[in-house]
Chain A
Amino acid sequence: MLTLVIGGAGSGKSAFAEELVCRLPGERIYLAAMLPRDVESRKRVEKHRAQRTGKGFETLERGLDLAGAAFPENANVLLEDLSNLLANELYESSGGGTEAVRRALAHLIAACENLTVVTNEVFSGGADYAAESLRYMRTLADLNRELAARADLVVEIVCGLPNILKGSLP
């Protein structure tokens, strides 16, 4: 089953996605795509780590080339998150661009029993951004739509509450 969870900053999307994955039987893998580069991102990693303590996740930190990652059979994978993964593949020197993200998603969908992808709603703050930022936003929007089209369940999170866009909650 493929699930897409979308929300804005501080919307509670991560906590909601974790709860969804926690309901699934079997091995749970938290695929952390953020490459911690500074104090703020390290803090964020710590916050998310604390948030999922005791929820039975094994953490795999991998910000690039997810198509090369191996997973146990019947794994439930939570990818956190697509916006970080895209930024890594686009802007890291060893990144493989948008196609590397598409390859990663195809691999994850094929390899996992259940894949839950967290992504960011970054599109309702207008278009007053630099051209490169707009290119990034458009690419993320393309990926969001591609995933949503394939997904069984698409949920937008608003102040911690689900707004179901496709499918139904288990």
Chain B
Amino acid sequence: MIFVTGPLYAGKQTYIQTALGLSDGEFARRAVRDVQELAVGSDPEALADELAGYEIVIATELGGGLIPIDRAEREKREAAGRLACLLAKRADTVIRVCCGLPQVLKGRLP
């Protein structure tokens, strides 16, 4: 599994689609994106196992701003971060995309 992460609108999907030469249809079949939205209230290990069944998993980083005053917002960021750690453990390759450019954190570029 290839785990792609990075900030909002960083070009994560565009990067991996281009790098692997995937059509939109192929991408839809082989990849799942915005998994950070699934993190709150889930069993993180079970969710990570399920997501690791995809070839490509994309998550937006949420944990970068000041810690929110709203408790639900805090929990959402924390859960998204934990899920990303679990996905990175299961991944063969972890790529962080920043302004469309890849940085390999684990494994090597496809």
Contacts and interface: CB of A to CB of B under 8 A. Distances in A.
Are A and B a genuine interacting pair, yes or no? yes
Of the listed residues B62, B66, B78, B106, the one surrounded by the most CB atoms of chain A closer than 10 A to its CB is B66
Nearest to A12: B85
A159 B7 contact: no
Contacts of A126: 65
Contacts of B82: 10
Contact of B105 (A120, A124, A133, A161): A161
Interface residues of A, number: 23
A1 interface: no
A11 B81 contact: yes
Contacts of A121: 63-64
Contact of A10 (B5, B66, B71, B85): B85
B58 interface: no
Nearest to A7: B63
A59 interface: no
A16 B79 CA distance: 18
Q: Chain A interface mostly helix, strand, loop or mixed?
A: loop
B94 interface: yes
A159 B5 contact: yes
Interface string B57-70: 00001111111000
Of the listed residues B74, B78, B105, the one surrounded by the most CB atoms of chain A closer than 10 A to its CB is B105
Contacts of A91: none
Nearest to B59: A159
Interface in A105-141: 120-126, 129, 133, 137
B66 A125 contact: yes
Nearest to B82: A10
Nearest to A121: B64
A163 B105 contact: yes
Nearest to B64: A124
Interface of A: 7-12, 40, 120-126, 129, 133, 137, 158-163
22 contacts: A8-B61, A8-B62, A8-B63, A8-B81, A9-B62, A9-B64, A10-B84, A10-B85, A40-B71, A121-B64, A122-B64, A122-B66, A126-B65, A158-B5, A158-B105, A159-B5, A159-B85, A160-B85, A160-B88, A161-B88, A161-B94, A163-B105
